[in-house]
Structure 1
Amino acid sequence: MCGVPAGAALAGTPEGDVPDLALIVASHTGRTQTLRSGQPGFDALWQLLQPTRTRTERVSDDWEAGRYPPVRITVLWGLTGVGGWPQTRRAPGGDVAMEREDQLFVAADGTPWVRSDLSPDVQDDDIRWHRLSRPVYERVDRTGLLGGAEDGPGAGSSSARWQERAGWAAAGLAAGVGGTLLARRAAARREAGPPREEPRQELIDL
């Protein structure tokens, strides 16, 4: 596997700040899997979810309100080797920045979709949606990387519990790689979404 495509850059991050780690949380089991750039599966997941994409597609009011189909997996994209003073008291390079959250689900007509939060550390309404390539989805699904097809959480309180579970998984990830979880707000927004505040960083104690 070739890992992150050459020249790729994550939305809102400085050039070269490309995530090199993906934390996958399967909704029907809660199990987690961590993939690093260069490992089997990372490149396939990157091609499927397109984490550099910032454009959004229109969706129904129900989806906007949280009543979208059950989520199959949640992927938290992370960047390792960051941090240090003044964000943390650790040596530079010992932290993990969680840059983006992608949630994969399948619509009633069989179309795979992604619901993306470009700033997981900020409570706002800047959510992006986009359809995926069905052939790519089917190819990746056959690998087992996307978990089972059982129903997972969908909306309302279930969705809130799922967000909490994903958050704990991210904290576990940071501990597992020996770093502090550093949730970094995207430095810029492109093409969609209301104006935002200045960039900021927030240290989350584990």
Structure 2
Amino acid sequence: MVVSGGTGRTAAFTDGSADFARLVRLLEPAYAGSERVPEAWAEGRYPAVRLTVVWGLSGVGGWPRTRRAPGGDVAVERQDQLFLAEDGTPWVRSDPAPDEEDDDIRWHRASRAVYDELERAGLLGGQAGAPEGSGGGAGWWWAGAGLGAGVGGTLLVCRAAARRGAGPPRGEPCQELIDL
């Protein structure tokens, strides 16, 4: 999920889409190193966030590990934020475990060529950093609405699965598939 730093607009991309591939090339989520940044940045006084990307894995969880229906949970894997330094260098601030209360924050420079490619594709938007996407502002609105509908649907399914009597049989004989 991508959140614009300037407007708060959101979009969701899936593995296999061209925009997802561009984000991977720019942010390099598999990169585990860290580079030194100016002291002010290390203290939290860095440039405005151009965009925030929350890397997630959907379809996790379910019986028997949780009391929810299988595939209804989302695991947050990582959070990356994109900044543009005064000299025009794009920087990535990564939190490899955003659900943990720790100070494991990593920084690295991003490719200016890939940054320019994303800007031409409309993923970084105008001056305020608002993503517009190839479908314009309406496309981002629909992506956000789709994400909201998906989350709402997941919550409804989870609520239905949590009702008394829903889920796998409890205390009854289990059936077994035997390969002959």
TM-score by length of 2: 0.71
Structural mapping, 1:1-206, within 5 Å: 23-85=1-63, 88-150=66-128, 172=148, 175=151, 178=154
Give 1:94 deviation, angstroms. 1.9
Give distance in 2, aligned partners of 1:69 and 1:112.
11
Deviation at 1:44, TM superposition (A): 0.8
Q: Are the counterparts in 2 of residues 95 and 174 from structure 1 also a CA contact under 8 Å?
A: no
* Residue in 1 that maps onto 2:167: none
8 Å contact from structure 1 (residues 72, 149) kept in 2: no
**CA deviation digits over 1:125-160, x for unaligned, max 9?**
1100000111111111111112332279xxxxxxxx
Q: Secondary structure at the match of 1:35?
A: coil
CA apart distance, 1:87: 5.3
Query: TM-score, with normalisation over the residues of structure 1?
Result: 0.62
Residue 111 of structure 1 and its aligned partner are, at CA, apart by 0.2
Matched residue SS, 1:62: helix
Would you say the 8 A contact 2:51–2:129 is kept in 1? no
CA shift, 1:91, in A, is 2.3
Gaps of 5+ in 1: 1-22, 153-170, 181-206
Percent identity, please. 57
SS of the aligned residue for 1:136 comes to helix
CA distance in 2, matches of 1:173, 1:45: 24
Q: Do the aligned residues in 1 keep the contact of 2:80 with 2:93 (CA within 8 Å)? A: yes
Shift of 1:86: 5.8
RMSD between aligned alpha carbons? Answer: 2.3
Matches of 1:39 and 1:28, distance apart in 2:
24
* C-alpha contact 1:81 1:95 (8 A) present in aligned 2: yes
Structure 1 residue 120 displacement after superposition: 0.7
Partners of 1:178 and 1:89 in 2: CA distance: 14
AA partner of residue 45 (structure 2): R
Inter-partner Cα distance in structure 1 for 2:16 and 2:69: 25
State the partner residue of 2:164: none
Between Structure 1 and Structure 2, the one with more helix by share is: 2
Structure 1 runs of 4+ off > 4 angstroms? Answer: 171-174
